[in-house]
Amino acid sequence: MDQMATKTLAEIYLQQGHLQEAYEIFKTLAEKDPFDPEIQKKLKELREKLHPSPPFNFFNPPSKEERIRHLEKWLDNIRKRRIS
């Protein structure tokens, strides 16, 4: 897989909804070029999608800023889905 690891292949996996496969390719690419901002951005986005924030805890509710940040992520994902 290391020889086939390209941004294009990772993007194809993303478009097909194969997030884990895309993440693995971007991780491999990041090891080869750790300073590529596009790769780092994709890794961060995929990490957030694959490992979402914990559910709401009624005994320890998130701050207003955390709730806003969480809702902005949702809105960003909705917008991205409408574009594709």
pLDDT of residue 55: 65
Q: Find out whether 30 and 5 touch, Cβ atoms under 8 Å.
A: no
pLDDT in tens, the chain (84 residues): 556 889 999 999 999 999 999 999 999 999 999 999 999 999 999 998 888 766 666 677 778 888 888 889 888 888 887 776
Q: Give residues with Cβ within 8 angstroms of 47, minimum separation 6.
A: 23
Q: Model-level pTM?
A: 0.60
pLDDT of residue 79: 85
Do 46 and 80 belong together in one domain? Answer: no
Do 1 and 33 belong together in one domain? Answer: yes
Terminal-to-terminal C-alpha distance of the chain: 27
Cα gap 74→30, rounded to integer Å: 26
* Overall domain count for the chain: 2
Do 45 and 64 belong together in one domain? Answer: no
Do 73 and 36 belong together in one domain? Answer: no
Do 10 and 46 belong together in one domain? Answer: yes
* Virtual torsion, Cα 32, 20, 18, 49, nearest 10 deg: -110
Do 12 and 47 belong together in one domain? Answer: yes
Do 45 and 4 belong together in one domain? Answer: yes
Domain range enclosing 5:
1-51
Cα gap 82→84, rounded to integer Å: 6
